[in-house]
């Protein structure tokens, strides 16, 4: 019986002489099951925990390659102490990269270190020099340009001190590092992935617009009418104009105003009841115009530096062509009817969900993927996906990867007001951004806790929040009284706490607040009827919105979330937080009470801001244009919601004057 016969095969490595272990590589999501996310132009900073037994020197490299490449690029990992190693690589292409770690015992560096220590201790190192010569011979065989070095190390005619100096010289060390012995290198047991998207995935401002409400009073608007609205949206400073579904709307079970179960002959119905005799998900509503009109709208938006986002809702009206062409894609009930959508107490008799447990699921998946492909072929690269949490995670992981393979610049927003882990699962499966619970977080403790949950730890590696104060479906209780201060504070919070945010307009800037009794929705809901908007109304928030969006564009600190930091205030009605990017520091202080003035002391965490503790701080109010000098950590702030609910300050340190004068807002 051999010595290895008693070893369990599951415990025996392929080569037990490989002594280096890579214990962990970061960043990673769920052990590499899902990719981390970055945007074009960022770097991927990788850390690894690499160990070996004893005192030998380790060498390690980070290997990475784009999915379109066959060969790996290597970057040396640098030792950061305590068995931690790090390296960074630039991300210059959209799509997926893979990365892993290769590590090995650096035999020559280990020998050098031992040689130097023994020599400095007065030990005879003649044999050690002969060992080094053998190592140099092996490196020369691998291609190292070290002619004569091995002979020099062996030569008794060269003084020991000179041979040692030669062996540990920078020249020899550098050449040996170029041709290491990686015979027993250990490769990390997983290839991790990073998805690289456009910067718009990290920072964007969305404006939701119903094209059918852009016509004259009582007249169904068209794409040509909506085109005239683009200048207004551009003046507000948004990046994306988002259109609810633009497809034909079914007649069967069409809803009337405010989700009334019966529609009148002129009621337009809900755009989310997709499909009619005029077509389905790849057609446009004939009252909006033609596909050519839509293409013209997209071009006009692009000329104004706006991207068009389409709402993709995977559901069908009873009149959708697929209902007759593919009846097995829908769930039949025992009485022969098809199950319509419900979210008790709401009922959507005009909407049929797809049955993802159909035996014909592969054809269904392909058809739904091809909806994205159809619109992407027409130049659309941003999609808001309706209720993705009611479709299988496996479908999204496959579908979004398929679309990204063809259109790596595509961006997907998940409209998923659902359980946290399900929201995270959607983000991991490929969604670029996600709706959040911000809509209902109103108190300082709730906002602080929620933002720390989604901007700390592992969550930001895969989850990008998009904050919406309201939507056509949701009008929260704290806005029902229609206080201007409430709308302004929610705007500032959404636009500065999150680098991605959106508003449902013109409803939001006109502070529409009539709530339909019994549900968390606006009355006269635009989902079910045409609306006419007075965009020139004197009390509109349009100028505040435009200013906030300009501030976002001017300040890189607001274009990401990783630096978000909360600062202490002695008032529960005042919330203070900052973001920074290099020398750009933005401090926001918001009054959470829409009716009453509140004052309080704000205590700045100067270390978190990167400011010296002994310097004055120049404070520029980007909303009100006032300037102040703060000379202490604690400063008094007062906010009147009847004037303005928030300060958005740009901070800059300055040399303290010899005779300072106190100045606080």
Residue 329 lies in a domain: no
**Rounded distance, CA 322 to CA 248, Å?**
13
**Per-residue model confidence as pLDDT tens digits over 395-439:** 999 999 999 999 999 999 999 999 999 999 999 999 999 999 999
Alpha-carbon distance values, 324 to 109, 330, 554 (Å): 73, 10, 53
Q: Quick one: pLDDT at residue 664?
A: 44
Q: Annotated catalytic residue: which of 415, 483, 526, 593? A: 415
**Per-residue model confidence as pLDDT tens digits over 145-161:** 998 999 999 999 999 99
Stretch 623-640: mean pLDDT: 92
Q: Is the pLDDT of residue 2 over 70?
A: no
Element containing residue 309 per DSSP (H, E): strand 307-312
Residue 344 lies in a domain: no
16 burial via Cβ count (<10 Å: 0-12, 13-18, 19+): exposed
Q: Is the pLDDT of residue 605 over 80?
A: yes
Q: Quick one: pLDDT at residue 314?
A: 98
Q: Quick one: pLDDT at residue 663?
A: 44
In degrees and rounded to multiples of 5, residue 234 shows phi and psi of: -65, -40
Q: Quick one: pLDDT at residue 599?
A: 97
Alpha-carbon distance values, 367 to 259, 323, 354, 399 (Å): 29, 13, 12, 10
Stretch 460-486: mean pLDDT: 96
In degrees and rounded to multiples of 5, residue 109 shows phi and psi of: -65, -35
Q: Quick one: pLDDT at residue 655?
A: 61
Give just the sign of the alpha carbon dihedral 250, 254, 256, 258: negative
**Rounded distance, CA 496 to CA 569, Å?**
18
Stretch 54-82: mean pLDDT: 96
Residue 489 lies in a domain: yes
Final residue of a structural domain among 526, 555, 584: 555
* Number of Cβ atoms within 10 Å of the Cβ of 3: 6
Same domain, 70 and 150: no
Q: Where are the alpha helices (DSSP H) in 142-253?
A: 149-154, 160-167, 170-178, 223-236
Based on the residue annotation, tell me whether 56 is a catalytic residue of this protein.
no
Final residue of a structural domain among 534, 555, 576: 555
Number of compact structural domains in the chain: 4
Q: Is the pLDDT of residue 237 over 70?
A: yes
Q: Quick one: pLDDT at residue 7?
A: 61
Q: Is the pLDDT of residue 197 over 50?
A: yes
Question: Percent of the chain, pLDDT > 70?
Answer: 96
Assigned token pair, 196: 């690289």
3-state secondary structure of 111: helix
Residue 479 lies in a domain: yes
Residue 304 lies in a domain: yes
**Per-residue model confidence as pLDDT tens digits over 571-601:** 999 999 999 999 999 999 999 999 999 999 9
Q: Quick one: pLDDT at residue 234?
A: 98
Same domain, 115 and 167: yes
CATH of the domain at 576: 2.60.40.1180
CATH of the domain at 26: 2.60.40.10
CATH of the domain at 493: 3.20.20.80
3-state secondary structure of 581: strand
- The single residue listed with the structure tokens 């709402």 is 311
Stretch 515-520: mean pLDDT: 90
Q: Quick one: pLDDT at residue 632?
A: 87
Same domain, 47 and 161: no
- The single residue listed with the structure tokens 């202080």 is 589
- Min mean pLDDT across 91-100, 339-348, 540-549 is at 339-348
- Of the candidates 435, 443, 444, 509, the one whose C-alpha atom is nearest the C-alpha of residue 474 is 435
Same domain, 460 and 523: yes
- Of the candidates 590, 587, 595, 602, the one whose C-alpha atom is nearest the C-alpha of residue 634 is 602
Q: Quick one: pLDDT at residue 403?
A: 98
Q: Is the pLDDT of residue 10 over 70?
A: no
Same domain, 130 and 146: yes
Residue 349 lies in a domain: no
Stretch 302-326: mean pLDDT: 98
Element containing residue 243 per DSSP (H, E): strand 240-243
Stretch 319-344: mean pLDDT: 92
Same domain, 569 and 521: no
Q: Quick one: pLDDT at residue 518?
A: 87
Q: Is the pLDDT of residue 661 over 50?
A: no
pLDDT bin (cut points 50, 70, 90) of residue 343 is confident
Same domain, 291 and 364: yes
Alpha-carbon distance values, 390 to 22, 42, 342, 414, 444 (Å): 39, 33, 11, 11, 32
Residue 484 lies in a domain: yes
3-state secondary structure of 504: strand
Q: Is the pLDDT of residue 615 over 90?
A: no
Q: Annotated catalytic residue: which of 106, 386, 483, 512? A: 386
Strand 192-197 to 36-39 pairing: parallel
Q: Quick one: pLDDT at residue 658?
A: 53
pLDDT bin (cut points 50, 70, 90) of residue 11 is low
Based on the residue annotation, tell me whether 124 is a catalytic residue of this protein.
no
**Per-residue model confidence as pLDDT tens digits over 218-233:** 999 999 999 999 999 9
Same domain, 588 and 467: no
pLDDT bin (cut points 50, 70, 90) of residue 344 is confident
Q: Is the pLDDT of residue 294 over 60?
A: yes
Final residue of a structural domain among 555, 575, 596: 555
Task: State CA 530 to chain mean position distance.
Answer: 34
In degrees and rounded to multiples of 5, residue 446 shows phi and psi of: -65, -45
Question: Percent of the chain, pLDDT > 90?
Answer: 90
3-state secondary structure of 332: strand
Q: Quick one: pLDDT at residue 641?
A: 96
Same domain, 538 and 638: no
Q: What is the mean pLDDT of the chain?
A: 94
Residue 665 lies in a domain: no
Query: What's the domain range around 471?
Result: 200-316+360-555
CATH of the domain at 147: 1.20.58.80
**Rounded distance, CA 641 to CA 649, Å?**
17
Q: Quick one: pLDDT at residue 213?
A: 98
Residues 6 or more apart whose CB falls under 8 angstroms from that of 259 comprise 346, 525, 527, 528
Same domain, 415 and 493: yes
- The single residue listed with the structure tokens 């272990």 is 21
Same domain, 128 and 56: no
Q: Quick one: pLDDT at residue 339?
A: 86
Same domain, 579 and 510: no
């Amino acid at each position: 019986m051999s010595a290895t016969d008693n070893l369990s095969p599951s415990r025996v490595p392929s080569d037990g002489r490989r002594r280096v272990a890579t214990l962990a590589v970061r960043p990673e999501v769920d052990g590499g099951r899902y990719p981390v996310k970055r945007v074009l132009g960022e770097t991927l900073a990788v850390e690894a925990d690499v160990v070996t037994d004893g005192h030998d020197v380790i060498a390690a490299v980070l290997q990475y390659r784009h999915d379109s490449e066959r060969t790996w690029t290597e970057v040396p990992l640098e030792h950061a102490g305590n068995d931690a190693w790090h390296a960074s690589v630039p991300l210059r292409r959209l799509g997926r990269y893979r990365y892993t770690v290769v590590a090995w015992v650096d035999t020559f560096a280990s020998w050098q270190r031992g040689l130097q220590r023994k020599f400095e201790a007065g030990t005879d190192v003649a044999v050690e020099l002969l060992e080094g010569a053998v190592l140099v011979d092996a490196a020369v065989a691998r291609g190292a340009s070290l002619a004569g070095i091995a002979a020099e190390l062996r030569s008794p005619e060269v003084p020991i001190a000179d041979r040692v100096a030669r062996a540990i010289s920078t020249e020899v060390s550098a050449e040996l590092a170029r041709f290491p012995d990686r015979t027993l290198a250990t490769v990390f047991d997983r290839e991790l992935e990073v998805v690289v998207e456009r910067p718009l995935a990290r920072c964007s401002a969305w404006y939701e617009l119903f094209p059918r409400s852009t016509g004259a009073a009582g007249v169904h608007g068209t794409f040509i009418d909506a085109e005239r609205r683009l200048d207004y949206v551009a003046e507000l400073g948004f990046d994306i104009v988002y259109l609810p579904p633009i497809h034909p709307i079914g007649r069967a079970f069409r809803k009337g105003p405010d989700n009334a179960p019966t529609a009148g002959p002129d009621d337009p119905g809900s755009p989310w009841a997709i499909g009619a005799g005029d077509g389905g998900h790849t057609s446009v509503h004939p009252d909006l115009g033609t596909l050519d009109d839509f293409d013209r709208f997209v071009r006009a938006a692009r000329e104004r530096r706006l991207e068009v986002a389409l709402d993709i809702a995977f559901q069908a009206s009873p009149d959708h062509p697929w209902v007759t062409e593919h009846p097995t894609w829908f769930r039949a009930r025992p009485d022969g009817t098809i199950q319509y959508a419900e979210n008790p107490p709401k009922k959507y008799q005009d909407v049929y969900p797809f049955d993802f447990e159909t035996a014909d699921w592969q054809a269904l998946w392909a058809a739904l993927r091809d909806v994205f492909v159809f619109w992407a072929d027409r130049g659309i690269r941003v999609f808001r996906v309706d209720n993705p949490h009611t479709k299988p995670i496996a479908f999204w992981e496959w579908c979004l990867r398929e679309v990204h393979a063809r259109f790596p610049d595509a961006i997907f927003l998940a409209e998923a007001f659902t359980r946290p882990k399900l929201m995270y699962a959607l983000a991991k499966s490929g969604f670029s951004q996600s709706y959040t619970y911000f809509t209902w977080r109103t108190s300082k403790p709730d906002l602080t806790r929620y933002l720390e949950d989604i901007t700390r730890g592992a969550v930001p590696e895969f989850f990008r929040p998009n904050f919406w104060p309201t939507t056509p479906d949701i009008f929260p209780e704290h806005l029902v009284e229609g206080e201007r201060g409430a709308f302004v504070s929610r705007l500032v919070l959404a636009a500065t706490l999150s680098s991605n945010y959106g508003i449902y307009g013109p409803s939001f800037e006109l502070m529409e607040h009539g709530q339909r009794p019994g549900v968390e929705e606006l009355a006269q809901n635009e989902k079910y009827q045409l609306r006419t908007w007075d965009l020139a109304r004197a009390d509109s928030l349009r100028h505040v919105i435009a200013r906030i969006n300009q501030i976002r564009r001017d300040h890189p600190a607001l274009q990401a979330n990783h630096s978000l930091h909360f600062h202490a205030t002695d008032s529960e009605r005042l919330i203070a937080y900052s973001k920074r990017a290099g020398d750009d520091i933005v401090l926001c202080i918001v009054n959470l009470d829409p009716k009453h003035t509140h004052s309080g002391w704000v205590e700045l965490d100067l270390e978190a801001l990167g400011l010296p503790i002994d310097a004055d701080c120049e404070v520029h109010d980007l909303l009100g244009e006032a300037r102040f000098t703060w000379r202490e950590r604690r400063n008094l702030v007062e906010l009147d919601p009847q004037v303005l609910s928030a300060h958005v300050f740009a901070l800059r340190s300055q040399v303290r004057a010899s005779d300072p004068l106190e100045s606080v807002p």
